Structure 1
Amino acid sequence: MSAPAPAIITSPEQLPILFQDALNAGDVDAVLALFSDGAAMRTVEGVRIAGIDQLRAEIGGTVAAHGKLTNLPRHTITGAQTALLVTDWTMEIDAPGGERVTGSGTTANIARLEADGGWRFALLNPLGTH
């Protein structure tokens, strides 16, 4: 990915809040910097996306809709330089008709420990087990 490297994230538990804060600040590049090279995501519509261009479009669309994310980390399981992050989330966005809508769910995200010693998202699945 071409996004700037964030400070070293020393614990995978930091990722959901860093994601929330960067998204709420409207900083698409900071959000993208939390992803590993080759990361993929399943959108809330259930579409699988991958690659910097698709991820940028998805995150950029959320920022353009004035997305406000609240993440509440539930638990993290770590092993073999990989972490499963389960996080409850609520997202408010401006719908195309102008009304403010809210969605919520529970993620099942995967992070991995990178060669630089930092953690980054490899897979994002905001729909959890659905």
Structure 2
Amino acid sequence: MDADVERAASPEDLSRLIVARLNAGDVDGLIALYESDAVLALPNGEVASGSEEIRGAFQRLLEGRPSFEPGTPRPTLRAGELALTSARLADGTVTVEVARQQEDGTWLWAIDQPAFTQPNT
């Protein structure tokens, strides 16, 4: 990972970082927020597994350079090295993610159930 890329010092950082990287169109930065074998739920009911499938999902999502608004964070639930994160989006839908603390103390998502509202184009 590029030493200049901000890493999540807490599970709560992940939501802020993903919105910033979505809006920047930074696919590599987005992939850096996930464990290499993470799973990402897709809007069509399918699942992207692993870095390459998740990369493809974000590349498709970012075609046309949409913009995204952050949701309102909900309380994080922690159990050891695991954390359940979530946010309520402007339209009332809720994201749900499972983050895991890494050996270096940073956090990455292992499971992501996003709820993207219609991006602003």
Which is richer in strand?
A: 1
Indicate if the aligned counterparts of 1:8 and 1:117 stay in contact, CA closer than 8 A.
no
- TM-score, normalising length: structure 2: 0.83
Structure 1 residue runs of 4 or more that deviate by more than 6 Å after TM superposition:
none
Tell me whether 40-49 or 15-24 shows the greater mean CA deviation: 40-49
Query: 1:12-91 to 2 correspondence within 5 Å?
Result: 12-72=11-71, 73-89=73-89
User: Deviation of residue 71 (structure 1)?
Assistant: 2.3
The CA deviation string for residues 107-127 of structure 1, in whole angstroms up to 9 with x for no partner, is: 111000001110011000025
Number of aligned residues? 113
**2:113 alignment counterpart:** 125
The CA deviation string for residues 78-115 of structure 1, in whole angstroms up to 9 with x for no partner, is: 1111110111235xxxxxxxxxxxx7721111000001
- TM-score, normalising length: structure 1: 0.78
When the two chains are superposed, the root-mean-square deviation of aligned CA atoms in Å is: 1.9
Unaligned runs of 5+ in 1: 91-102
User: Deviation of residue 13 (structure 1)?
Assistant: 0.6
User: Deviation of residue 66 (structure 1)?
Assistant: 2.1
Percent identical = 28
